[in-house]
Amino acid sequence: MGLLAKEPDNERILISEGVHLAVCVGVWDLGTQYNKTFEKEIHQLLIMWEIPDERITIDNKDLPLAISKRYTLSLNEKANLRKDLEAWRGKAFPAETLKEGFDLKKILGKTCQIQIIHNENNGKIYANIAGIMALPKGTKSLEPENPLRFYSMEDSKEIPEDTPDWIKDIIKQSKEFQGNNIVQEDIDEDVFGAK
């Protein structure tokens, strides 16, 4: 038969457009990343939510779909992180919090509404977060189905094992990770697929 290369049969499953209840299941410090658009280095983070009303079956397990968004680590008045967190909270941050900082670990396990839209890029359709909103009054919070995950480079230079590979790859590109010359067997094995 020979050696055939072809597209995989598995079709990507997108979260449907519209407003969904979502619960935050992950916050990862991505470190300082080079931003091509602004041609400068920016400290970034990634927040992930699970959407319980959208499901996928993996290894005979029924699981919620997840979606994530990258942010600049800033509470500047123009920063998307601040806009989304304030919309999620349903109120503006007090001046004291803006000055002293907001602990992002506090959002883990918290429920919000997320508006999903579909966008096309290079012939592929992607589900993207168009907006984040507070829960309507009287709406019960969701319980996360997945374990909550948090990573801060300030707390540890080692990337947690349960971090998805695609997030590990982003973290490994950071200025902090490159500058630390971190030596870990797991990292070398992941990069070369030797596991």
**DSSP-assigned states of every residue in 129-187:** EEEEEPPPTTPPPPPPSSPPEEE-TTT-SSPPTTS-HHHHHHHHTSHHHHHHT---HHH
Reported pTM: 0.84
d(CA 25, CA 107): 9
Share of the chain above pLDDT 90, in %: 77
Q: Does the structure show a pLDDT above 70 at 40?
A: yes
DSSP letter at 192? H
130-171 per-position pLDDT tens digit: 999 999 999 999 999 999 999 999 998 899 999 999 999 999
Give the pLDDT confidence score for residue 9 in this predicted structure: 53
C-alpha 97, offset from chain centre = 23
At residue 106, what are phi and psi to the nearest 5 degrees?
Answer: -65, -20
Sign of CA dihedral 88, 17, 58, 67: negative
